[in-house]
Structures are given as structure tokens and as C-alpha cells.
Structure 1
């Protein structure tokens, strides 16, 4: 695979003053890599590792040529698990399954690994496959444009760095690639708090995904907004050191008995010593998780499964939570309609004298607390927002322009909301793929499996180009995308996510009901459909690129061998 231009060894930058955002210049000669990826979490690392495993292409490249560049707005690798560093942060999927199939880890210390272990795991995998060599941090990609005549994607990447004298500088990286991957994840854009007066609050205010480690909560009066998975982890983690914790809830969730356990050292040693044991463990956990998929279908069998799970969850919640909070906590909607929560001490913590749960609406935020609708004032020193993320959004803050000037926003508007063929591809955006893109998330199993399936699918589709023909442009046909979008939205209407609850799964653009989050079938099906691409849905165009050096070589060749082409006079 060759570069479409010469001498493009590294990333080029320019610098301007950050105080004048309009004064931003672009590098005259963009840098180049065969692949570029936006994101350095599970998806980006999986892409880099798979390129190394399948094709021997490491991110650092060879001979000065970079095969892969990965850009992240964050200061290090990890993606979601780097920014979600709040107290109690942990996965809610068993570690045996929430990891790469090609990189099993026998050293997990818990069934549900904490964020620190996940970050360490991702760093180890990235180092093993030299993915780290291609990462560029504190780099915010804000524009991507398809250059048709050269068959490349051009990226504009903004970086802010403190220069001499403490003055901030804006550095703009201009980079080109043959193949573009979006790996920004599902939970990148925190939701804003829709309560008036937030700007008047005198104390620290921050979102759980922007945790302020410099804020000491000891002895503080803390207000926490939210009642989902994140809040259920934060409450037991901080309740013991705050003066008082008031949790403001505006929705309900089904809470299941805990499944997290410490993995004994003897078990870890056995997993490390016996070949294939980690893979067997992973398979068994996968089968158990996949068996629960039937509960998400609006069928008689699915209804029976949900009744059983509802009885289990309700019995646990009534037995564990304070009776005074039952009406605030126990839902009246179907199990599975929202993301389920495995209890990590949350319900028991609600018994603490310094913890108050309230579902009363907040009228406004005051400089020193909250005013509730009844007029009651809740004093606060710190406000924490655990109110979730802006979902059903992909590549937020990035302007993507495909063929004929069509933007990503325009493309999705024509469909009614975000979507992607096999959750990875769009017509009119050649050589571009989403990882953990629209409709990839699951409610019953590991998102890492979906990431691997998406990476494997994209690289299978690209195989004709990666076999040595660097001029191949891979394009999805529009009718195939339209048919897939109709099929997946129709299937989603027959799942529990469409049963009527207010859920971030179906919170589409402008508040309309559009599910761009979940996959309506089993992960076994996604694996199968990613294993065998439907080749008739794709177009492969071979491009030939010539520059002045190529022309000179051809002229020299013709001049040297002119006797073979020109007859000598008699």
C-alpha cells in the first residue's frame, strides 16, 4: 500500500494564538497514513491490533510511512474508560466477555472490572500490537472531507498547547488518509442539565464524565442528579465521606442483585496456567449472556422471561431498599426497556442517615443550593451531574463531508435519523467505516464483541484494496443502505425498547422516537453477517494516480527505447 503523494513522513502543524480563533492556518503539505481513526478506546485499539494481526501493519509503519494514525481529544488512550474516572466506575459486563477475544486476560481481579483495570488492559493490548505508536493525543478532529479526484480523506485536527510564557497556542494538523474510521464511542457527549440557574451556583459543578479529582468531597453537602448506572456506582462510593448526599431522581430503573465478586488468586493462577481455559470461560459467559436475548423480543416467550426477571428484580429491590423509597425506585415499565443495573451497594447505601433520595422536581438552582418545586431549599456545596449522555449522536462536533458535498448531517436527515449499513457504512462516504456505530449497542451482552465484529467486517470489505491495490475506492450502494435502514427500524419496533418507557435508547434528533443505539438481533447474527459480506451491495473502483515524477519516468522510458518504436530511415 503506497501513499498518494511523496515524502509524507509525519504530521505537519502550524501554530497561531488561541485568543484569535479565526487566525488558524493549515499546513501546506498534509501528512499521510493509509488508515486514520478518530478515537483511541476499545474500538481504535481493536482496529490497530487487527491490522497488525491480519496484515502485519503496525501503527508506527515502516520506512517512515505510517500505516495508522489514531487521533484522540483526550490526553491518553482508553476512550470512555479514560474520561469516566469517577469513584466506583466499573464495567457492568463480566470481564471474561468485556475484553478482546484475541487478548484474553487471566489477571482480572473482579467479575466486573473497575475502570483502572480496564485502562491498564487497553494500554497493554495497545503496546503489544504497537498501536500506541500511531496515537496522537489532545487532538480534536473537527472536519473530514472526501477528496474525490485523489480518493483520500482530508482531516483537520485542532490542538491547544501552552507555549512559552504560558500563552496558549492553537496547532492545526492537516492529515490525509486512504481509509477513515470513526471510533468515538457511544458515550462521549455529556447531557446538559435542563434546570435554570446552574450558572449562578457558587460551588463546583461537574459531570461524572468530567470528574474533578481536585475537588475534595469530604465533609461537603453534595447534590447528585441522576439515577442510572453511573449514579448507582457513585452513591455508595462517596456516601461515606460526604456530610450529606441528596440524590435527585427523575426516572426509575430495574436494579438486579449484584453479580460482582472478587476473583480468587488461585482461580487467576489456574486461568493463566491452563491453555485455552480463558477461552472456555469466555464462551460459557457468552452463551449465558446470549440466552437472555429472548427477553428483549415482544413475543410470548419474551414476555414470560421478562415476568420472571421482573419478579426477581422487584423482590430484591423491595427487600434491600428503604420502604419509603420504593415508589421512587421501582418501575412500572417492562424489564429491558432501559439499561439494567447490577447493584453494587447502591440500594443498601440509601439506608444511611446522610443520604436523601428525592423525586421532587427542581425549580431552580440557587448560589448555595437548590429550590424545589414545593419551595423547599436544599443546601449544597457541590453539584454532580450523573444524568447521562447525548445519545443517538455519532461524531458530534465533527463536520464530515462526503461525495458531492453531502454532509453527514444531511445524509442522516434524509433517513430520519442516524443509521448505517450493517452498523458500519454509509453510501456517499467512500472508504469510511464506523466502529461501535449506529445500532451496534446491545442490552444483554458485551459491546466489545460488537466492536470486533465491526472491525472484522470492515477489513473484510476492504480486503480487495488491502491486497495491494492502493487505488481501490470502496463504496456502498444507496439502495442497500436504504433497505438495511428499513429492516433494522422495523425489527426494533418489535423489541422491548419500543414498549413505551422514556429511554436514551430511543431519544432521537429533536426528541423524535428514533433508535440509533441498539441492535435488534443477537450478537451471533451480527457475527455471522459480519463474517460474510454481501458483495453485490458494494462497488470497487480502481483509481490510478500520476504525478510529475511518474510522467518523467514514462518519458525517459520512451526516450531510451525509441528505437523499438521509430523506424530508422533508409
Structure 2
């Protein structure tokens, strides 16, 4: 069985680890368009780029890091962690970099996927696979923005995700268009270096205090050496972040929590932002309608003399500057687009074709936007799974947790049945997918996500194709045991149980016995001797050298 995975970001790393180290399966290849692993943390290198989820939570459960420098780490440290995880678990040999996926098609005659790829020199080639996995993530393609006259501008224009590090912006006049998380991180990190910075922000945001202290040596020691200390810390972070869901839901209890949180955020904004911006800087829409921003010193940066913030968009761009919606014209040397990503346009720009020539993008248009069974499976597309797909985004919790949950779900519901010969082709039933989607949209309809504000959750048809409408723990619980009645299983054998038991004995039990925790226990209690292990390894090396 051959498997092709697209994307070597957090999602790709999660599924690769599950296949290699939990399932004992190695016949998979990951194709990545960038020059290394890390996904969004390799793409986004703008000044101040970092994560607003605590680092001990924004990490893989199978590779906890006791050495995080601070509570909310920056992009270089996160990318280093991603790279280290790939190498620690020997996943790099499965990865092919600087190779992008153009599309894929299910061939009914051969019952396989044909994936079209393109390497760095433009050479196109095709790979055949029994299973095709998309792990491209939700923030891989910047949003296309077009302003009148944009092509006339003589200076550089670049998106935050395509930051031009060859350009020296020091002492220049910079325009920042946008007001999301990226803009909030860029502004305080460049405002002291530029001559003048003007930010065009059509709508306000909810800002909250961002405690971000560095961990002491004692804390790092405890994380590393005291059993379960770091696990407990991580669990407390998870439950605390998961509880934030209560501020986004419907009902009186959610309204009370939200009102109290809005009151604290409003006071924080007024205390830290210049008074001249108070009349437009606090949102009128409810908390959570847009993603909350934990302030990376953005509000204090607004006090700088070189800084200007306006609550309007762009009317026109010419060769030297920008005319705002109210008609104010100013000249700039560089324009930075902090305009977000095509989050609701999943799998862009790949062309995925399923049964009977059905194109995925067209199927999703017919349903008013992307949808998938637990964000993972789509009818008409057999032996195909999506990581971090539609309606799998946690409200304010770790994306890595969500992708690990999905990876485990894919292993249980797709890989294991095929490897056990229970089926050769697995596809979700349309009624199961539609029922799941209807339930999700019903739950989302009463939440703040559907309030009156522009956000990346809602597509042009008014459908929320991004958000998971509840606790992250609920997503884990609902996908822990796959409901095979929701799938069409083709092929396979009725005598798949014996193979399942044998494979478990030779992979699951074997991996359990050789796990780090088991070996530590056996060594600690003298059940096996460290010296004996070293002697056996030395003998194996001598035999290899003799050959």
C-alpha cells in the first residue's frame, strides 16, 4: 500500500508520526512546497511573528519540550521545535521538499489516486497512491487583495506571509493594511525603526492582556525531571483554554461570561491605547466574532509619534502612495498587506477530482461552502482524508491538539481497516456527512461566530466552514471510536479479524513494550539490565562490521 501526504507542517508531522510510530507503517511520502518542514512557521517570518497559544500546549503530545523559553514563544523557536521533532522521530526521510501538488484524481478503474506534482525546476510528474492525505493546513495561502491602482505603486508591496527580508525598511514610510493578529505583531516590532507608519484598520479588535514571562531554570528543571509535572501543566492549560468556549456560545450563561470578559477587555484597551483612538478602537460586535488578540504591546505602540491609526480602508493606490476611503492622500515607500489567509478556501489551489469526475471545489460550491465529516472525509472522494479541514478549528485552543486528534481518527477509520483487509476502499456516506454538517451549522447559528462582523470563519455564502462549535475535548471524544456505519466499505475480507489480532501482536504490543515509558520502568526496577542492553548492541555492531 502506497500513501501520499501533501504538506509537512504541524498536520503533516502529526500524521507521519502516527503512521510510523503508532501504526508501524512506513510506506508513505510527504510532498512539501517549501524548502523544509514547519508549514506556517516556515512561511511566516515577519517581525514579531509568534503564537498566542501557550507553548507547552502548542506542542505535540508525543514530544513535549521542557525547554520552552517563555509562555508564548516566537516563530524561530517554534520552527526549531518543528525541525527537531521531525529529526527526533526520523520523519525527514519520508519528506520531499520544494515540490508542490497541482492536483489529484481518483481513477475508478485502478481504484487508486493519481497525484500530479511539480518540482523546483518546473518538471511535472505523477505519483500513484492507494491513500491520499491533505495536510496543507488552513493558513497556507495568503488572501488575494486587489485595490484600484495597486499595480502602479513603485515601491515594494508584500504580504506578511511573504515578508521581503531583502528590503531595508529602516527610516522609510510604511503603510500596513489590515488589523488582525499579524498586524498586531508587526506594528510594535517595526514602529521604532521606520520614519512613519500608518495602519489602515477598517474594523476594531478585542485586545486582552498578554502575560508572557520567561521560564526560570528551576521551572525548566521541574518540567524535565519531575514525573508528570509538565503533563499536569499542559492539562491545566488545555482545560483553561477549552473553557473559553463558554464565552462564544448561546444562552444566558454564555452571555454573562462574555459580558464580564468584554468589560475587562474594554478597560484594558482604554487604559493602554491613546485617548485619540478611543472613539473607534473598541468593537461594537460581541467578543469572539473575530479571533481575540492577546496584546503583543500593540496598544502601547500606538503612542509612538511616528504611528498613525485610521479606521478606514483604501480607495486607491498610485505610483507613490495611498488615498484612503475618506479621501486623505499620503505617500509611502513600502506597503505591507496584513490581510490574512484563504482560511475558508480549503485545499487551494489544488484541483482534487473524485468519483465520476466530480471536482471537490465544484461539489463544495453546490453545498454553499466547504464541508467534511468531522473535518476529515468527503463523499465521492474515497481513500481521501483532510487534516485541519472544514469545521475542525478549535475556538481558542491548540491547533496541534486538533490535528493530532484528526490523525488518530484517520489511522483508526481509514488506515487500520485497510491494513486489516476489512476493506480496500473507504468512503463516508453522503447522508452521514450532510447530517454532521447540518448539526454543526445548527450549533454555530446561535454563537458569536455568526454575529455581525467580517471574519475569516464565514464564507461569501454566509456559511461558517471553519469553526468547531464546542470544546476541543468534545472533538476528541466524538472521534475516538469511529462509527463505521457512517462509511461505505468496499472490498476486503470477512476474515479480517485474525489479521487484526496478528498485526496488533506484532506492532501494537511490540511498540508498547519498546516504548520509552516501558523501557524506563523496566530499567528502573532492574527487570532488564542497562549493561546487558549495551553488550547486545555492541555484539550487533561487531557482526555488522564483520560482514
TM class, shorter-length: 0.7 to 0.9
Q: Does structure 1 retain, via aligned residues, the 8 Å contact 2:371–2:437?
A: yes
User: For residue 495 of structure 1, what is the aligned residue in structure 2?
Assistant: 447
Task: Give the equivalent residue in structure 1 for 2:487.
Answer: 538
Q: Distance in 1 between matches of 2:216 and 2:292?
A: 27
Indicate the SS of the match to 1:462.
helix
Q: State the match for 1:126 in structure 2.
A: 86
User: Pick from 263, 277, 291: which aligns with 2:229?
Assistant: 277
Q: Aligned equivalents of 1:374 and 1:210: distance in 2?
A: 29
Whether the 8 Å CA contact 2:247–2:254 is kept in 1: the answer is yes
- 1:253-292 aligned within 5 A: 253-292=205-244
CA contact (8 A) 2:100 2:119 kept: yes
Contact (CA 8 Å) 2:5, 2:30: kept in 1 or not? yes
Shift in Å, 1:471: 6.7
Partner of 2:502: none
TM-score normalised to structure 1 length: 0.84
- Deviation readout 1:386-412 (Å, 9 max, x if unpaired): 011122111111111111111102221
In 1, Cα distance between the equivalents of 2:208 and 2:82?
28
User: Which of 201, 204, 221 is equivalent to 2:153?
Assistant: 201
1:446-461 paired onto structure 2 within 5 Å: 446-461=398-413
CA contact (8 A) 2:418 2:492 kept: no
- 2:50 aligned residue: 90
Runs of 4+ in 1 over 4 A off after TM superposition: none
Alignment match of 2:192 (pick from 230, 234, 240): 240
Relative to the length of structure 2, the TM-score reads: 0.88
The DSSP-based 3-state class of the residue aligned with 1:209 is helix
Residues of 2 paired with 1:520 and 1:459: CA distance?
24
In structure 2, the residue matched to 1:71 is 31
- SS of the aligned residue for 1:107 comes to coil
Change (3 A) 1:336 1:360: closer
Match of 1:154 in 2: 114
- What do the CA deviations read for 1:10-58 (whole angstroms, capped 9, x no partner)? xxxxxxxxxxxxxxxxxxxxxxxx2211111000000111112212234
Q: Secondary structure at the match of 1:504?
A: coil
- Residue 138 (str. 1) matches residue 98 (str. 2): yes
Alpha carbons 1:48, 1:129 under 8 Å: kept:
no
Post-superposition offset of 1:298: 1.1
CA distance in structure 1 between the partners assigned to 2:312 and 2:268 by the alignment: 25
RMSD: 1.5
1:519 is the counterpart of 2:468: yes
Query: Secondary structure at 2:457's aligned position in 1?
Result: helix
| Structure 2 match to 1:186 | 138
Which segments of 5 or more consecutive residues in structure 2 lack a partner in the other structure?
494-547
Residue 513 of structure 1 and its aligned partner are, at CA, apart by 0.4
CA distance in 2, matches of 1:57, 1:485: 32
Aligned equivalents of 2:30, 2:311: Cα separation in 1: 43
After superposition, give the CA deviation of every residue in 1:410-466 in whole Å (9 maximum; x if it has no partner).
221232210000110011111111100001112221111111111111110025435
Provide the C-alpha distance between the structure 2 equivalents of 1:88 and 1:335, rounded to a whole number of angstroms. 24
Post-superposition CA distance 1:182-202 (Å, at most 9, x none): 111111221223321111111
Q: Give 1:528 deviation, angstroms.
A: 0.7
Q: Is 1:114 matched up with 2:74?
A: yes
Paired residue total: 493
Distance 2:175 2:19 in 1: 46
Instruction: Identify the residue that residue 379 of structure 1 maps to in structure 2.
Output: 331
